[in-house]
């Protein structure tokens, strides 16, 4: 294992960023196709963490997609939650969505972003293979895992996770040990070869370097995109928000020249592609809507970052708390009693204007293979969904911690079919406003990724919302 690098030293050695603000040019960029849409297939709800005032669909039938293509906005998300599915189910889901998108779009054009985790977990290359088969051919598949708020940087084709001033190669972090989506390579060219099981060789993977982005600007990016071998895979390096803006403008220029690309990326590319200005973080009044009830925090994620944040919350606040033993949730004879007891305490706290956190026990329980591991995660998530479905009183706000947890609560617990991303509570922590079809219309639903934020981030969020 290599020692972490100094982020400040690595960044100081890089070329200076491209000068000037390109966002106005991106927003004004002419399109040959009126009504062109950017469609993001989000494999868990955390992909909305860089945008605001955009719709999220949790259903993808033809009627819903036809209606959305008829809306004036430039972009919409489809929450697939495919990261919680086994491979066969994820394949069928992407096939269904692709077919319905083609039907709904008609003659209108659209660009697809297959949004996944900034720490490289998810169904790759399965999802991009399916989308290429159904929607292609594409001139290239672009791999872009950069995500500023999470400290995810790609430099020299190596993907890093930052913690303070430390830059650690992604393969040497706990994320790479994921029981379902683990990997061994931080160099993304080698990661592509690993994940494709050698079908795509590392030496055949193209790369847009930081030197190209920062010294050549959008024109150089466009030229390299135009020069890609048709159907190839290309890594996009980025270490600053402006790098994404340069790349986005170069991408738009290449698309105007007639090229089509499939994008496999973390959350950052969407705001760059739309030229969205950075918006201030939401304040307590934006989120709480002046209600007096207590807030509810549900923690299902088991990644070390979440456990660290939960521990800080429990130590540094007097928040009401309930621990749900995972072994009991997996036992059909015990699950019902555990959930009933939890609901009694939750109702008491919310009615008394006290915030309460409900969390699953922190010992990770694994199965014999990836399918059984997903099954365990889904069973735990189902218990949290049941809690939301059986709530008798509306909380002031609802925080869901973790990808599977937040998706299941959104669709199965709250019944969201179309929500609006209003902004972020903290960097990388999106807030949705629920629609009239939901169990609690108008509530602020806060999606807190398991792998985002410092050790104090959950505590900071609860304190912020309690002012």
Please indicate, yes or no, if residue 51 is contained in any of the structural domains.
Answer: yes
* In a shared domain, residues 122 and 248: yes
Please indicate, yes or no, if residue 162 is contained in any of the structural domains.
Answer: yes
Domain extent at residue 137: 5-274
* In a shared domain, residues 223 and 255: yes
Please indicate, yes or no, if residue 315 is contained in any of the structural domains.
Answer: yes
Choosing from 274, 300, 333, the residue where a domain stops is 274
Taken in order 243, 245, 246, 250, the sign of the CA dihedral is positive
Return the minimum-mean-pLDDT range out of 77-91, 298-312, 408-422.
298-312
Q: With 80 as the cut, is the pLDDT of residue 276 above it? A: yes
Give me Rg for the CA atoms of the chain: 22
Please indicate, yes or no, if residue 279 is contained in any of the structural domains.
Answer: no
Task: Please state the length of the chain.
Answer: 467
Choosing from 204, 239, 274, the residue where a domain stops is 274
Return the DSSP state at 417: S
* In a shared domain, residues 265 and 357: no
* In a shared domain, residues 131 and 35: yes
Mean pLDDT of 182-204: 98
Q: What is the pLDDT of residue 227?
A: 98
* In a shared domain, residues 108 and 137: yes
Please indicate, yes or no, if residue 455 is contained in any of the structural domains.
Answer: yes
pTM above 0.95, yes or no: no
Q: Where are the alpha helices (DSSP H) in 258-369?
A: 268-274, 284-288, 304-316, 326-329, 332-351
Q: What is the pLDDT of residue 32?
A: 54
pLDDT band at residue 290, thresholds of 50, 70 and 90? Answer: low
Choosing from 235, 256, 274, the residue where a domain stops is 274
**Tens-place pLDDT, residues 391-448:** 999 999 999 998 778 888 999 999 999 999 999 999 989 999 999 999 999 999 999 9
* In a shared domain, residues 308 and 384: yes
Q: What is the pLDDT of residue 291?
A: 78
Q: With 90 as the cut, is the pLDDT of residue 326 above it? A: no
Cα(216)–Cα(228) distance, integer angstroms: 17
* In a shared domain, residues 214 and 318: no
Q: Are the beta carbons of 50 and 86 closer than 8 angstroms?
A: no
Would you state the structure tokens that stand for residue 460, as one six-digit string?
């900071």
* In a shared domain, residues 294 and 366: yes
Q: What is the pLDDT of residue 329?
A: 87
Q: Which residues of 327-364 are buried (b: 16+ CB within 10 A; e: fewer)?
A: ebbeeeeebeebbeebbeebbebbeeeebbbbbbeeee
Residue 341 sits in a domain of what CATH number?
Answer: 3.40.980.20
Number of domains in the chain: 2
Please indicate, yes or no, if residue 10 is contained in any of the structural domains.
Answer: yes
pLDDT band at residue 1, thresholds of 50, 70 and 90? Answer: low
Q: Are the beta carbons of 141 and 124 closer than 8 angstroms?
A: no
Q: What is the pLDDT of residue 300?
A: 85
* In a shared domain, residues 117 and 18: yes
* In a shared domain, residues 195 and 90: yes
Cα(334)–Cα(414) distance, integer angstroms: 24
């Amino acid at each position: 294992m290599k020692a972490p690098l100094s982020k400040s030293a690595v960044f100081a050695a890089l070329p200076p960023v491209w000068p000037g603000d390109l966002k106005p040019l991106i927003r004004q960029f002419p399109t040959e196709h009126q009504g062109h849409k950017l469609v993001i297939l989000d494999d868990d709800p955390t992909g909305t963490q860089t945008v605001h005032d955009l719709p999220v669909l949790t259903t993808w039938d033809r009627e819903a997609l036809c209606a959305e293509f008829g809306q004036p906005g430039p972009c919409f998300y489809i929450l697939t939650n495919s990261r919680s599915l086994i491979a066969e189910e994820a394949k069928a889901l992407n096939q269904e969505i692709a077919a319905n998108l083609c039907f709904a779009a008609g003659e209108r054009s659209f660009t697809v972003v297959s949004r996944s985790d900034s720490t490289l977990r998810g169904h790759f290359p399965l999802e991009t293979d399916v989308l290429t088969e159904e929607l292609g051919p594409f001139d290239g598949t672009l791999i872009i895992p950069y995500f500023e708020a999470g400290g995810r940087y790609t430099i020299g084709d190596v993907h890093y996770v930052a913690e303070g001033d430390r830059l650690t190669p992604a393969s040497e972090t706990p994320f790479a040990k994921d029981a379902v989506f683990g990997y061994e390579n931080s160099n993304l060219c080698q990661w592509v070869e690993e994940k494709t099981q050698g079908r795509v060789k590392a030496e055949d993977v193209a790369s847009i370097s930081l030197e190209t982005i920062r010294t050549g600007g959008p024109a150089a990016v466009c030229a390299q995109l135009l020069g890609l071998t048709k159907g190839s895979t290309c890594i996009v390096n980025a270490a600053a928000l402006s790098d994404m803006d340069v790349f986005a403008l170069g991408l738009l220029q290449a698309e105007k020249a007639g090229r089509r690309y499939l994008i496999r990326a973390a959350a950052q590319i969407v705001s760059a592609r739309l030229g969205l200005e950075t918006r201030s973080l939401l304040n307590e009044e934006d989120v709480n809507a002046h209600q007096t009830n207590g807030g509810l925090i549900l923690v299902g994620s088991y990644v070390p970052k979440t456990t660290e944040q939960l521990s800080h919350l429990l130590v540094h606040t007097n928040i009401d708390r309930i621990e749900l033993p995972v072994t009991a949730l997996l036992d059909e004879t015990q699950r019902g009693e555990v959930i009933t007891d939890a609901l009694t305490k939750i109702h008491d706290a919310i009615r008394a204007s006290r915030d309460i956190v409900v969390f699953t026990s922190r010992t990770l329980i694994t199965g014999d293979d990836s399918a059984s591991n997903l099954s365990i995660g889904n069973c735990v998530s189902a218990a949290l969904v049941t809690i939301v479905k059986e709530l008798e009183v509306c909380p002031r706000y609802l925080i869901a911690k973790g990808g599977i947890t937040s998706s299941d609560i959104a669709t199965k617990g709250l019944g969201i079919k179309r929500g609006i991303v209003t902004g972020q509570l903290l960097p990388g922590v999106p807030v949705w406003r629920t629609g009239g079809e939901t169990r609690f219309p108008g509530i602020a639903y806060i999606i807190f990724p398991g792998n985002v934020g410092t050790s104090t981030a959950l505590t900071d969020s609860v304190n912020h919302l309690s002012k």
